[in-house]
Structure 1
Amino acid sequence: MKILSRNTHNTHNAQTVSYIDTQAVSGHKVLRNTYMLLSMTLLFSALTAGATVAFAIPGPGILLTLVGYFGLLFATTKLQNSAWGIASVFALTGFMGYTLGPVLSHYLGMAGGSSIVMTAMAMTGLIFMGLSAYVLISKRDFSFMAGFLMIGMIVAFVTSLGALFFQIPALSLAISAMMVLLMSGMILFETSNIIHGGETNYIMATVSLYVTIFNLFTSLLQLLGVIEKE
């Protein structure tokens, strides 16, 4: 009986190790595919934003922006398991690049605007790479942040609408600072979620990280723009 129990225990341990190894391989595959698609969508989005700036194309307005964003996000979610999901990702990120163009035009028109944009871009890249590297090296599980981040995003979204409609600059600045912290947390959470098997679809992982980077960049732009004016 003891020998049978020991053999059963060893078999269970072997199965557990095998499952963990399989999960790790799967997580790294999703991460690799995510980073590849993310780099392509960021480039495509940058080209779209650059074209919008170059041809002075006006922004779509808040209503069309929200409809376009949530509509394309819904389509991407529905198509995430098909080849059309990739096309939907490029449509979503291209649209967001288009909405970013007028914002870039605004800052580039300011004194020292080019410096503001380049600094925001550099800071975004450093924050993303630094936090992602920390998760990959430490392999820490940041899933415990899910509830906090969700509540924070809801509060930030609602208050940002209030700041927009009631034109409260101080509140907008506070929201931008809050968004930098929230997006930093999202980078930790999303990267951890991928490598630990919480997110197994690289299309949705790409969308999550892209939106995080987009929000981080625009929030840093606003903060640096205010500092430049001081």
Structure 2
Amino acid sequence: MQTQQFERVATRSGVEINKVLRNTYMLLAMTLAFSAAVAGVTMALNLPYPGMIITLVGFYGLLFLVSKTADSAMGLVSVFALTGFMGYTLGPILNMYLGAGMGDVVIMALGGTALTFFGLSAYVLVTGKDMSFLGGMMMAGFWVIIAAFVANIFLQIPALSMALSCLFILFSSGAILMQTSAIIHGGERNYINATVTLFVSLYNIFVSLLSLLGMGGDD
């Protein structure tokens, strides 16, 4: 009797995990497409970059809105508002690279981002490893990134900018590993929160790769 009950609970849990995973990837694909469309419109209209302050306020404000509405239907609206805003900030950056004749850099950054995401996700999904042990290192890495970011605002040293981009890639890769692991082990049941984590990680990896490859290709 207890064995049958355990099997029913395990089956129900597996179904819920698969549902969260499926909904997360579906929403992630939709938000990526929407963000790309917004970026395309921004590029076509040649709209200006909103600036560091507006970008940070807009990003964290919308991120807070997502966290507050993630358990309701309004959460979907919040997710698209956040990813659309991030797409808008990406448009002027892409225009800058394309205007400088660095379209190959954009393509390589896109390919590198896709390869990183699929590789990391596949690793966790295939091995089923619990990546929660990365939590402590991720917290330490977060504060290192904050310190490096603030220092870079004042110092503007190319080597520091390159190191910061590398840190963003490592941190975001860790976030993808942890978030995917949390989903398949039942630690994450909200696909909206999971989608935002993965989207922001992909955005950071892409922008960081743009920066690194752009430095490498700068004459």
User: Per the shorter chain, which TM-score range?
Assistant: over 0.9
Structure 2 equivalent of residue 7 of structure 1? none
Please identify the structure whose Cα radius of gyration is greater.
1
How much does 1:145 deviate?
Answer: 0.6
Superposed counterparts of 1:66-77, under 5 Å: 66-77=56-67
The unaligned stretches of length 5 or more in structure 2 are: none
Range that drifts further, 14-23 or 174-183: 14-23
> Is the CA contact (8 Å cut-off) linking 2:176 and 2:197 kept in structure 1?
no
**How many corresponding residue pairs?**
219
String of CA shifts for 1:12-52, please: whole Å, max 9, x gaps: x5544443333222111101000000000000101111111
Structure 2 equivalent of residue 96 of structure 1? 86
> Is the CA contact (8 Å cut-off) linking 2:50 and 2:89 kept in structure 1?
yes
Structure 2 equivalent of residue 43 of structure 1? 33
> Is the CA contact (8 Å cut-off) linking 1:163 and 1:171 kept in structure 2?
yes
Question: What is the CA–CA distance in structure 2 between the aligned matches of 1:216 and 1:14, rounded to whole Å?
Answer: 45
> Is the CA contact (8 Å cut-off) linking 1:23 and 1:196 kept in structure 2?
no
Question: What is the CA–CA distance in structure 1 between the aligned matches of 2:6 and 2:216, rounded to whole Å?
Answer: 53
Structure 1 equivalent of residue 75 of structure 2? 85
Q: Identity over the aligned pairs, expressed in percent?
A: 52
How much does 1:109 deviate?
Answer: 1.9
Tell me whether 1:189 sits opposite 2:189 in the alignment. Answer: no
Provide TM-score, normalisation by structure 2: 0.95
Structure 2 equivalent of residue 4 of structure 1? none
Provide TM-score, normalisation by structure 1: 0.90
Superposed counterparts of 1:1-230, under 5 Å: 11=2, 14-111=4-101, 113-229=102-218
Question: What is the CA–CA distance in structure 1 between the aligned matches of 2:132 and 2:6, rounded to whole Å?
Answer: 21
Question: What is the CA–CA distance in structure 1 between the aligned matches of 2:12 and 2:33, rounded to whole Å?
Answer: 32
How much does 1:68 deviate?
Answer: 0.5
